[in-house]
Amino acid sequence: MGEVGNFQENIHKADYLSPYAEKRITSETLVTGGNRPSELLDGEWNYAIDQYDTCLRAKWYQEEYADADGRPFPLDFSFDRWPSIRVPMCWNMADPRFFLYEGSVVYTRVFRYAPRGEGRVFLRFGAAAQTAYVFLNKRYLGVHYGGSTPFCVEATDLLTEYNRLVVVVNNTRRPDLIPADNTDWFNYGGLYRSVELLRLPAEHVRSAKVYYKEGKINAAADLTDGGTARIEIPELGIDAAIPAAIPAAPELWSPERPRLYDVKITYGGDIWTERIGFRDIAVNGHKILLNGEEIFLSGVCAHEESVVNGKAVTEDEIRENFRLAKEMNCRFMRLAHYPHTELAARIADEVGLLLWEEIPVYWAIDFAAPKTLADAKNQLTELIVRDFNRASVIIWSVGNENADTDERLAFMTALARLARSLDPSRLRSAACLVDHHKLIITDRLANELDIIGINEYYGWYEPDFSKLPKIFENSRPAKPVVISEFGADARSGSRGTVDDLYTEDHQAEVYRKQIETLRAIPYVRGIAPWILFEFRCPRRLHYTQNGYNLKGLLSADKTRKKPSYYLMRKFYEEIG
């Protein structure tokens, strides 16, 4: 028996999202890098909180204002009369009423378009947290999953003089997505990175990979229609067809001397240009080698957040974070727990800071679900394609603090192997857990990693610090270990004895013990304490925390350096 006449799809269809899910926006359409001219669609957009997803249910984007005979419909939306919100921005910071909102927000704007001889036109989104449904001129273009990586949709055949763009952004936490529904950071939402209009030739470079390995510069490009592209690096006398492996002797990039070269790739009428540094990163036994020289990764972790802007950090804020890290004698930073803005890696290239970048395969993921693995693979691919040409990025991390189950091993192994297939020039890691019962560093995933990342909180979540030296005594890993997290909460300015929890003095005592222990372990070749500055987290409800993780070496506004900051600065100065 079919549907009866009183069925109304927009209110009676429970599974209203399935038709949208069938059209995915993935890495296959991503256009990135190359510094091609773009037109920003940032600024003021109209928006509305849409708690019941009525835009998607009732298909507001079709803009049906009247019936077939011209009689007007009573509408539940008025796109151009809605209030405005700035893009890029997190809606949590736009209005105190929306600070903890989780759900859908409808964004819309009209932009004018006049062709200028381009062959193809794309809409490029820097990121939308967490899921984005894109509509242009009453047509559905697709949905993108993943709140931290860029995505593109083609608009060539849909553009007119005036164009209605509608984006439904939803930040609802879901157990089948990446990240899942239980994390340890604030769930920001919105179009919080730039939206651009790209005008490109019909034949163009989607992306390119240019890197140095064993005395050669390797170059390849993802081209729209096959054929041959050429690479030019004038300072090195390079002018060659690609793909190619070209003998060269560039001045190698390092934190002490972050040398960058002008690189140009031409293909048909398209010109792709970048500033690229060339360096070699490798592992030999317990050693991490940068340009053939042993290096210790003196570092710190950081979230993408600020008190004022939430996740929509500005260039000035990124530069401030890097400056504060370098003042602490860091040469390395772990960008946790998701891809930060691509601007971060560009600035790190410029100022000389090594980076660990990761995707948010965090805690309890649905490791058995094929669609969850597909989501993780897509986010990893978008990240690698986006930042492949950044010399500062030396490690791809495929996850954080996952229990070592069979399902997780298969899931993470697939990601580690994907990272290697997409990028043979970098190291792979994951932030793993130690075995607290056997007191040993062990994780079956280590066989697929180049560096074993270890998160340990001895002296804090595990108050018995004497267990940490025993772990190192019991462990004999064949690969270098990076302590990817340790730390303790300290309310900024709160003082007391070393036994008073949440004081700067207790935090400093934990750091003293950690430093004393870690400096004596030969296979520990990097340290990134948790974390550079305090950050928002709704799960932190102790009266001292007030919705913040207080493990920062700096206060949330970065105006106060805690004693532990100076301890790490001195330690890093000593080990060089």
What mean pLDDT value characterizes the chain?
96
CATH no. for residue 258? 2.60.40.10
Q: Can you give the pLDDT at residue 526?
A: 98
* 306 and 454 inside one domain: yes
- Please report, to the nearest 10 degrees, the dihedral formed by the alpha carbons of residues 169, 171, 176, 177 taken in order: 70
485 and 511 together in one domain: yes
- Residue 227 DSSP symbol: S
331 and 361 in a single domain? The answer is yes
pLDDT tens per residue across span 54-64: 999 999 999 99
Q: Which residue has the tokens 């849409």?
A: 50
Mean pLDDT within 54-81: 94
pLDDT value, residue 340: 98
Q: Which residues contact 267 (CB under 8 A, 6 or more apart)?
A: 203, 204, 205, 221, 223, 227, 228, 229, 230
- The helix (H) or strand (E) run that includes residue 3 is none
**Confidence band of 10 (pLDDT split at 50, 70, 90):** confident
Q: Is residue 448 part of a domain?
A: yes
Q: Compute the distance between CA of residue 147 and CA of residue 170 in angstroms, rounded to an integer.
A: 10
**Distance (Å, whole) CA 533 – CA 489:** 11
Kindly state whether residues 196 and 215 are assigned to the same domain: no
Phi-psi region of 378 (alpha: psi -120 to 50; beta: other; left: phi over 0): alpha
Among candidate residues 156, 173, 200, the one where a domain is terminated: 200
Percent of the chain scored above 70 by pLDDT?
A: 99
Please give the average per-residue pLDDT across 437-454, as a whole number: 96
Domain identity same for 192 and 274: no
pLDDT in tens, 502-522: 999 999 999 999 999 999 999
Q: Count how many domains the chain has.
A: 3
Task: Give the pLDDT of residue 576.
Answer: 86
Distance from C-alpha of 345 to C-alpha of 318, rounded to nearest angstrom: 10
Whether residue 322 sits in one domain with residue 256? no
The verdict on 45 and 149 lying in the same domain is yes
Quote the pTM value: 0.96
- 561 conformational bin, left if phi > 0, alpha if psi -120 to 50, beta if neither: beta
Domain that holds residue 243: 205-279
pLDDT bin (cut points 50, 70, 90) of residue 37 is confident
Supply the pLDDT for residue 8: 81
Q: pLDDT digits over 339-367, tens only?
A: 999 999 999 999 999 999 999 999 999 99
- Residues β-bridged to residue 48: 106
Among candidates 528, 460, 464, 467, which has minimal Cα distance to 488? 460
pLDDT band at residue 2 using 50, 70 and 90 as cut-offs: low
User: Is the predicted pLDDT of residue 404 greater than 50, yes or no?
Assistant: yes
Question: What percentage of the chain reaches a pLDDT higher than 90?
Answer: 95
**Is 285 inside any structural domain?**
no
3 pLDDT above the threshold of 70: no
* Residues near 41 by beta carbon (within 8 Å), at least 6 away in sequence: 87, 109, 111, 123, 165, 194, 195, 196, 197
Q: 184 lies in a domain?
A: yes
Q: Taking residues 432-436, report their average pLDDT.
A: 90
**Residue 74 and residue 56 share a domain:** yes
CA dist., res. 555 & res. 157, Å (int):
50
Residue whose pair of structure tokens reads 């929890």 in the numeric block: 501
Do residues 482 and 398 both lie within one domain?
Answer: yes
- Structural domain contains residue 512: yes
Query: Which whole number is the average pLDDT over 275-281?
Result: 98
Q: Is the pLDDT of residue 1 over 70?
A: no
318's tokens: 């990124």
**Same domain as 341, residue 434:** yes
Residue 2 forms part of a structural domain: no
Residue 253 DSSP class: P
Mean pLDDT along residues 309-316: 98
Do 397 and 271 share a domain, yes or no?
no
The string of pLDDT tens digits covering residues 79-135 is 999 999 999 999 999 999 999 999 999 999 999 999 999 999 999 999 999 999 999
265 exposure class (CB count in 10 Å sphere: 0-12, 13-18, 19+): buried
φ and ψ at residue 562, rounded to 5 degrees? -80, 160
Please indicate, yes or no, whether residues 270 and 351 belong to a single structural domain of this protein.
no
As given in the structure block, the two tokens for residue 502 are 């949440």
So what's the pLDDT on residue 4? Answer: 65
Looking at the domain assignment, is residue 286 inside a domain? no
CB 431 within 8 A of CB 400: yes
Domain end marker among 137, 167, 200: 200
3-state secondary structure 208-257: EEEEEECCEEEEEEEECCCCCEEEEEHHHCEEEEECEEEECCCCCCCCCC
User: Would you say 209 and 389 are in contact if contact means Cβ atoms under 8 Å apart?
Assistant: yes
Which CATH number covers residue 429?
3.20.20.80
304: three-class secondary structure by DSSP: coil
Q: How many Cβ atoms are within 10 Å of 460's Cβ, its own excluded?
A: 19
**561: β partners:** 554
CATH classification at residue 150: 2.60.120.260
* Rounded alpha-carbon distances, angstroms, from residue 204 to 221, 224, 443, 450: 10, 6, 44, 35
Domain assignment present for 525: yes
Of 529, 522, 523, 526, the closest CA to residue 507 belongs to: 529
From 200, 230, 248, give the residue that closes a domain.
200
Tell me what the mean pLDDT of segment 154-173 comes to.
98
Flag whether 1 is in a domain: no
